[in-house]
Amino acid sequence: MQKYQMYIGGEWCDPASNEWIDTVNPYSGEVWAQIPKGGAADVDAAVSAADAAFRSSEWRGLTATQRGKLLCQFGDILADNAESLAEIEVRDNGKLYAEVLNQCRYMTQWYQYYGGLADKIEGSVPPVDKPNILNLTKHEPLGVCACITPWNSPLLLLAWKAAPALAAGNTIVIKPSEYTSASSLEFARISQEAGFPPGAINVITGLGADVGEALVRHDKVRKVAFTGGEEGGRSVNSAAADDFTRVTLELGGKSANIVFDDANLDQAVSGAISGIFAASGQTCIAGSRLLLQDSIHDEFLERLLDMAGQARIGDPMNADTQVGPITTEPQYHKILEYIEIAKGEGATCVMGGEPVLAPDGNKGLFVQPTVFSNVTNEMRIAQEEVFGPVLSVLRFSDEEEAIAIANDIKYGLAAGVWTQNLKRAITVSERLEAGTIWVNTYRSTSYTTPFGGYKASGLGRENGMESIKEYLQTKSIWLSSGGSVANPYMRR
Ligand code: NAD
């Protein structure tokens, strides 16, 4: 069994507690590795190392171009390691290898994109309304940034944070989920090979309530980039507010996938399925509320059940598998609990609704792809994030009603719209309260495109040009070329 260490200040170290957490393969149900159970002392060591690196000539002395090149080289080395990183990630979170391998290859683009952006962050020279003054505006890094990631896509979601943070000249402390820490520790090993100075990248592991909270509360942490659930997001937001620490929060969702009667139904069925059953529904952007127009409701549902009913459940490493296991035991119980809640609320279970045994005697936890019809928007199954393969189907009569139902929820991460009517596509996209709207497609994201939530789905944006500003602060420099001495008792 593999026993991991944490990566602090360029060194591999055991936790101060000398305690370890078992990490379980969600498909086999077996413990395959142990990760350190860090605590406040480890957090302090990691943040101090990151702070020292931030002030060191090895890091601060790099020009923006050199820093950018280092990130690009890092991206290349990560790409060379994509297969082994993907295998580790599947062993940890049970997502399909085919999807995770794609993600691990794709995430290298974040290091290339932000590496390229590092030396294009320009300040300005405002035409200030004072005589004999040259006024300069420049953007500076913040210092130590904490990157806190969840278990569903650890390395991809880390790239969304680490790449802009480092490109902007910050140093980072990574805190992966206690369920899926191994790939971030491998990431640290690769960063060593890429030649980052000691302390520029650190990884600490352990529980959210100890290590995560201590990290957010550390007085030398200047920014927290957090992806996770609503409860964790709320406590990170309050803890950070105490010290005026900046935050980016990428939280949960309950996204509406809206199918109008003028849609291409074949594409829409496939989009609805990918919206909820890909990654076993364990994705923040899951289209977990399917809104069907009355006139196509029955036909669409029949087609969807037909296709989803054929999904192959099994070993995530197997190329034929379409639905893998549930990543964690608490998540498995939460999904089954929501299935019971939906039944109790009067929704009709038209597919699935039961746990499934893992194939070949494995001990993994599976839930059947599940569909509830006759869901109404006030039901908990329509309003709360399940984070599993459970679809709620609602009906609507016209555009107005579709928009009203879609927006009548506390979340606002994403939404899908299926229509061939351009005017409708534009109007509905503009009126939906969500950070990402997909029209006739679903579940696409890119390093080029801002991503984040409206309402309770988060604060700030990741990806795209604007995300680097989340890791910078602006300084104004006033340079006087002399002139007459002003009255010292008056503000200039
Ligand atoms: P989680 O909130 O339980 O944990 C996320 C991370 O935060 C973990 O590393 C955890 O250890 C840490 N953490 C937990 N409590 C903390 C605290 N009080 N202080 C500091 N750190 C803390 O989330 P999860 O169960 O790992 O992930 C699932 C959730 O993540 C879902 O709600 C999902 O929607 C959300 N998610 C959002 C996005 C997005 O981009 N919006 C992407 C993926 C997942």
Is any ligand 1 atom within 6 A of the Cβ of residue 229?
A: yes
Distance 215 CA to ligand 1 centre (A): 14
The residues, ordered by sequence, that sit 6+ positions from 426 with a Cβ below 8 Å of its Cβ are: none
The secondary structure of the chain in percent helix, strand, coil, rounded to multiples of 5, reads 40, 25, 35
Q: What pLDDT is recorded for position 126?
A: 98
Q: Closest Cα to atom 38, ligand 1: which residue?
A: 284
Is any ligand 1 atom within 6 A of the Cβ of residue 175?
A: yes
Q: Which residue is associated with the tokens 């390093």? A: 447
Choosing from 147, 284, 462, 470, the catalytic residue is 284
Q: What pLDDT is recorded for position 128?
A: 95
Q: What pLDDT is recorded for position 404?
A: 98
Q: What pLDDT is recorded for position 489?
A: 85
Tell me the torsion sign for CA atoms 132, 138, 143, 146. positive
Active site residue 349: no
Is any ligand 1 atom within 6 A of the Cβ of residue 92?
A: no
* Rounded-to-integer distance, Cα 182 and Cα 89, Å: 7
Q: What pLDDT is recorded for position 482?
A: 84
Is any ligand 1 atom within 6 A of the Cβ of residue 174?
A: no
Distance 376 CA to ligand 1 centre (A): 28
Q: Closest Cα to atom 1, ligand 1: which residue?
A: 228
Ligand 1 atom closest to 216 (CA): 20
Q: What pLDDT is recorded for position 488?
A: 79
Is any ligand 1 atom within 6 A of the Cβ of residue 216?
A: yes
Per-residue pLDDT of the chain (492 residues; tens, 9 = 90+): 899 999 999 999 999 999 999 999 999 999 999 999 999 999 999 999 999 999 999 999 999 999 999 999 999 999 999 999 999 999 999 999 999 999 999 999 999 999 999 999 999 999 999 999 999 999 999 999 999 999 999 999 999 999 999 999 999 999 999 999 999 999 999 999 999 999 999 999 999 999 999 999 999 999 999 999 999 999 999 999 999 999 999 999 999 999 999 999 999 999 999 999 999 999 999 999 999 999 999 999 999 999 999 999 999 999 999 999 999 999 999 999 999 999 999 999 999 999 999 888 999 999 999 999 999 999 999 999 999 999 999 999 999 999 999 999 999 999 999 999 999 999 999 999 999 999 999 999 999 999 999 999 999 999 999 999 999 999 999 999 987 667 878 876
Q: Closest Cα to atom 12, ligand 1: which residue?
A: 208
Domain ranges of the chain: 2-251+457-476, 256-439
Q: Closest Cα to atom 43, ligand 1: which residue?
A: 284
User: What is the CATH code for 2-251+457-476?
Assistant: 3.40.605.10
Which mutation among 99, 110, 148 tests ligand 1's pocket best, with the greatest number of atoms within 8 A of CB?
A: 148
Distance 227 CA to ligand 1 centre (A): 5
Ligand 1 atom closest to 179 (CA): 26
Q: What are phi and psi of 61, to 5 degrees?
A: -75, -15
Ligand 1 atom closest to 331 (CA): 25
Question: What six digits make up the tokens of 125?
Answer: 């020279």
Question: What six digits make up the tokens of 272?
Answer: 């609805």
Q: What are phi and psi of 2, to 5 degrees?
A: -85, 135
Is-contact 370 390, C-beta < 8 A? yes
What Rg do the C-alpha atoms of the chain give, in angstroms? 24
Whole-angstrom CA distances from 10 to 154, 190, 196, 199, 389 are 21, 12, 9, 6, 40
Q: What pLDDT is recorded for position 62?
A: 98
Is-contact 246 236, C-beta < 8 A? no
C-alpha triplet 425, 431, 437: angle, nearest 5°: 60
Q: Closest Cα to atom 11, ligand 1: which residue?
A: 208
Q: What pLDDT is recorded for position 124?
A: 98
b/e for 153-188, b at 16 or more Cβ within 10 A? bbbbbbbbbbbbbbbbbbbbbbbbbbbbbbbbbbbb
Q: What are phi and psi of 473, to 5 degrees?
A: -125, 155
Q: What pLDDT is recorded for position 241?
A: 97
Is-contact 427 421, C-beta < 8 A? no
Is any ligand 1 atom within 6 A of the Cβ of residue 435?
A: no
Choosing from 250, 384, 385, 470, the catalytic residue is 250
Is any ligand 1 atom within 6 A of the Cβ of residue 252?
A: yes
* Rounded-to-integer distance, Cα 445 and Cα 386, Å: 22
Ligand 1 atom closest to 252 (CA): 34
Pick the CATH number of 256-439 from 3.40.309.10, 2.40.10.10, 3.30.1330.60, 2.60.40.10: 3.40.309.10
Q: What pLDDT is recorded for position 240?
A: 98
Is any ligand 1 atom within 6 A of the Cβ of residue 38?
A: no
Active site residue 104: no
Q: Closest Cα to atom 9, ligand 1: which residue?
A: 177
pTM of the model: 0.97
| Secondary structure of 412-435 in HEC code, one letter for each residue | ECEEEEECCCHHHHHHHHHHCCCC
